[in-house]
């Protein structure tokens, strides 16, 4: 089954279980309220069935466009009265860039919730968001935190990677997300990662659906409600990453090695190349690329 077929099948299934009580909807809505962000023109990127688009419209007075590539999702959002944009983020980069150019600098806010972990080409997603945002526009992105201690338990007891059914393609922690955002032209304004709910599902998988054992181990994660407020423990005690980032007046050069190389070659001898190199050097000097050996080596060769 291709990713497209899988996503289409999931879209049909989710119409039976769609709800507005997902933890990441609440956390992101609360963050918008806290920042006083209302009345903006917003793109809900990979909008699904449009639950959060309705929250943005009804609770935050936003003009929302829903973007997705699954026909069922697009029809659902249109039926709710929203304008839609058809975009497959995992398509060829040139096609994604062309689609983004048609909406260049039209949005005050882009939201991408519980999406980036399902995307093969995260550079495409972040570059698309960068292009369609107005100067100093905002990107609100949310994804599970792979550093959360429960996922380590899951791997330890099950012998599998977290979410072992393969539904999630790429796993994110705060450091990795921040670096990807930075190299795609964003600066993190607010780090709102936190603990929201007991990892019952992860523990059920770890202990082969033995409910009493899973519930026993999940109970201990109540302690994360306190531990998340201790700076050096925040990473392992937060189950969700929620980040509000601002678009900078710099090019979105990308994080993947080949993407960065292509950008530098294409813009050789231009101001864009100088700006991109400065951005890469800043990330390198900040230590954000220490674990990314090939990209670090490329930057070192530029110095």
Query: Does position 179 have pLDDT exceeding 80, yes or no?
Result: yes
Task: Name which residue leads in pLDDT, 82 or 154.
Answer: 82
Q: Are the CB atoms for 99 and 88 separated by under 8 Å?
A: no
Q: Which two tokens stand for residue 154?
A: 């899951």
Domains of the chain plus CATH, in order, are: 3-255 (3.40.50.150), 256-303 (no CATH)
Q: Residue 2's pLDDT is what?
A: 67
Query: 138, 189 in Cβ contact below 8 A?
Result: yes
Give the tens place of pLDDT for each residue, 34-91.
999 999 999 999 999 999 999 999 999 999 999 999 999 999 999 999 999 999 999 9
pLDDT band at 157 (very low <50, low <70, confident <90, very high): confident
The confidence score (pLDDT) of residue 90 equals 94
Residue 163 is encoded by which pair of tokens?
Answer: 């979410």
| Structure-token match 């190389």, residue found | 261
Q: How far apart are CA 239 and CA 274, in angstroms?
A: 38
| pLDDT of amino acid 162 | 60
The pLDDT value recorded for residue 298 is 95
Q: Residue 161 pLDDT more than 90?
A: no
Are 280 and 183 in contact by the 8 Å Cβ rule? The answer is: yes
Residue 14 in this model has a pLDDT that exceeds 70: no
Assess whether pLDDT exceeds 80 at residue 4.
no
Q: Flag whether pLDDT at 299 surpasses 50.
A: yes
Q: For residue 266, what pLDDT is reported?
A: 95
pLDDT in tens, 222-276: 999 999 999 999 999 999 999 999 999 999 999 999 999 999 999 999 999 999 9
Confidence of residue 165 (pLDDT cuts 50, 70, 90): very low
How large is the average pLDDT for residues 133-140? 98
Supply the pLDDT for residue 29.
96
**CA–CA dist 293, 299 (Å, integer):** 10
Per the prediction, the chain carries an average pLDDT of: 92
Q: Which of 7-21, 130-144, 199-213 has the lowest mean pLDDT?
A: 7-21
* Token couple for 94: 């040139």
Average pLDDT rounded to a whole number, residues 168-179: 93
> In the prediction, which pLDDT does 64 show?
98
Query: Is the model more confident about 5 or about 271?
Result: 271
**93-102, 160-169, 178-187: segment of lowest average pLDDT:** 160-169
What separation in angstroms does the CA of 60 have from each of 76, 105, 142, 147? Answer: 21, 21, 18, 31
């Amino acid at each position: 089954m291709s990713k497209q077929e899988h996503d289409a099948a999931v879209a049909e299934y989710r119409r039976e279980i769609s709800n507005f009580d997902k933890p990441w909807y609440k956390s992101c809505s609360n963050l918008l309220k806290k920042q006083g962000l209302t009345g903006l023109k917003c793109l809900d990127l990979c909008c699904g069935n449009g639950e959060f688009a309705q929250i943005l419209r009804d609770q935050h007075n936003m003009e929302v466009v829903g973007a997705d590539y699954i026909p069922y999702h697009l029809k659902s959002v249109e039926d709710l009265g929203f304008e839609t944009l058809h975009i497959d983020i995992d398509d060829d980069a040139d096609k994604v860039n062309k689609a983004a150019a048609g909406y260049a600098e039209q949005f005050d806010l882009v939201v991408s919730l519980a999406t980036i972990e399902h995307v093969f080409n995260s550079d495409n997603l972040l570059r698309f968001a960068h292009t369609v945002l107005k100067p100093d526009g905002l990107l609100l992105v949310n994804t599970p935190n792979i550093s959360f201690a429960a996922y380590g338990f899951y791997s330890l007891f099950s012998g599998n990677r977290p979410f072992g059914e393969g539904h999630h393609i790429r796993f994110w922690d705060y450091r990795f997300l921040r670096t990807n955002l930075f190299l795609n032209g964003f600066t993190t304004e607010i780090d709102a990662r936190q603990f929201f709910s007991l990892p019952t599902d992860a523990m059920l998988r770890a202990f082969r659906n033995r409910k009493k054992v899973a519930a026993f181990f999940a109970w201990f994660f109540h302690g994360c409600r306190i531990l998340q407020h201790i700076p050096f423990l925040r990473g392992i005690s937060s189950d969700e990453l929620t980040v509000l980032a601002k678009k900078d007046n710099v090019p979105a050069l990308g994080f993947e090695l080949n993407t960065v190389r292509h950008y530098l070659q294409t813009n050789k001898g231009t101001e864009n190349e100088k700006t991109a190199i400065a951005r890469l050097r800043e990330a390198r000097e900040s230590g954000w690329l220490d674990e990314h050996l090939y990209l670090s080596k490329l930057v070192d060769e530029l110095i």
